[in-house]
């Protein structure tokens, strides 16, 4: 858990230049209410999700083809929220509980570095908004809950010269960012 927080803090502090992701979504957009209904069903049916707040307000954002469903516990306070991410089909792919809350069970399928590299390669073929691979690079893969962080570091290495791709546990590219070397 500490490693995940440190990694998130590091990414935020380095202020990566976030790419203006323009994926081609296959599924038609869902309404905020449809996402809320999906989340209500998931929370009622699954035991691996955080327990609901007694009272909360909710919001939905769209990030690329994925949805971010956020619950803010009432009364609102720092770290009294839960962030759920769903893919374009409405499948729950990640939960970010507040504090030391419970996290969802990840799918049994674990992607290898080679499989993740293939996912990124295919996305680069169809999306012009993705940065090209470095001519020479070193790869590192980290897990953040159920998500995969696929890092590419330019060789020879310079501090802060990398790009990172976030892949959901079903193999869909969620996001990418490119850092600025310093």
Each residue's pLDDT expressed in tens, for the chain with a length of 182 residues: 444 444 433 444 343 444 444 567 889 999 999 999 999 999 999 999 988 899 999 999 999 999 999 999 999 998 899 999 999 999 999 998 766 656 789 989 999 999 999 999 999 999 989 999 999 999 999 999 999 999 999 999 999 999 999 999 999 999 999 998 77
pLDDT, position 100: 61
A 10 A CB-CB count for 180 gives 10
Segment holding 17, helix H or strand E? strand 17-18
Token pair for 60 = 């939905």
pLDDT, position 103: 73
Instruction: Tell me the C-alpha to C-alpha distance, in Å, between residue 109 and each of 95, 105, 165, 168, 169.
Output: 17, 12, 19, 12, 8
pTM of the complete model: 0.79
Instruction: Tell me the C-alpha to C-alpha distance, in Å, between residue 144 and each of 47, 81, 136, 140.
Output: 20, 18, 26, 13
**CA triplet 40, 174, 60: central angle to 5 degrees?**
35
pLDDT, position 17: 40
Give the sheet arrangement for strand 173-178, strand by strand.
Answer: 17-18, 173-178, 162-167, 147-154, 137-144
């Amino acid at each position: 858990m500490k490693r995940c927080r440190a990694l998130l803090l590091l990414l935020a502090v380095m202020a990566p230049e976030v790419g203006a992701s323009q994926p081609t979504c296959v599924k038609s957009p869902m309404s905020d209410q449809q996402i809320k209904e999906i989340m209500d069903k998931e929370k009622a049916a699954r035991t691996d999700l955080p327990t609901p707040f007694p009272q909360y307000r909710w919001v939905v954002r769209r990030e690329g083809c994925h949805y971010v469903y956020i619950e803010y516990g009432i009364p609102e306070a720092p770290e009294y929220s839960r962030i759920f991410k769903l893919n374009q089909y409405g499948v729950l792919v990640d939960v970010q509980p507040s504090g030391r809350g419970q996290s969802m069970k990840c799918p049994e399928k674990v992607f290898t570095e080679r499989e993740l590299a293939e996912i990124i390669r295919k996305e680069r073929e169809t999306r012009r908004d993705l940065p090209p691979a470095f001519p020479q690079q070193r790869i590192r893969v980290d897990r953040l809950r159920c998500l995969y962080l696929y890092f590419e570091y330019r060789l020879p290495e310079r501090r802060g010269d990398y790009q990172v791709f976030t892949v959901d546990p079903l193999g869909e590219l969620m996001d990418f960012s490119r850092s600025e070397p310093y």
